[in-house]
Structure 1
């Protein structure tokens, strides 16, 4: 399971950084990456705590289902909110 997570994280990291690079202008690209890594780090602390608490109280299966549901909601939110407008018109 850990190897699968590592592979998935490896596939996700490149597109995340490309998306940041596309949205940030040349002048603010470094700042955008700084904010991205700050927010990722800050969000990881409560995410890990909540995941651990759900695992402790309800078991591993529910913890992973909850994490998967949150990831799906985040992906849907990213698609609806942050996707470039010109990409929506072509589809």
Structure 2
């Protein structure tokens, strides 16, 4: 999540083609890491009997949350595209901090 936040802030503040190519590659890497880890985490938290239900519920919630998040991003984009990336970076940073705190609570 912190790599995604860094990438979002980069898109907000750097505007050259070289930075765009680098940031786009970092975005792809962070997206792949986040997606794989989220599914694995849900699988680890669920028992064998309900693993399919847990993954289905996870993807349903992600799908339902995608609509309001896309509406917020579209509204911010109309105001200023830079604000959209700053908002995404802030939310990603907060998410990373929350997950890190949960990690410290559960595994220390």
Common fold: TM-score over 0.5: yes
* Gap regions ≥5 residues in structure 2: 1-19
| Counterpart residue number, 1:20 | 42
Give the paired residue count.
85
Give the root-mean-square deviation of aligned CA atoms: 1.7
| Counterpart residue number, 2:91 | 70
Which structure carries more relative contact order (alpha carbon 8 Å, separation 6+)? 2
Distance 1:35 1:47 in 2: 18
What does residue range 11-90 of structure 1 map to in structure 2 within 5 Å?
11-57=33-79, 59-81=80-102, 83=103, 85=106, 87=107, 89=108
TM-score, normalisation: structure 1: 0.80
* Gap regions ≥5 residues in structure 1: none
Helix, strand or coil for the counterpart of 1:40? helix
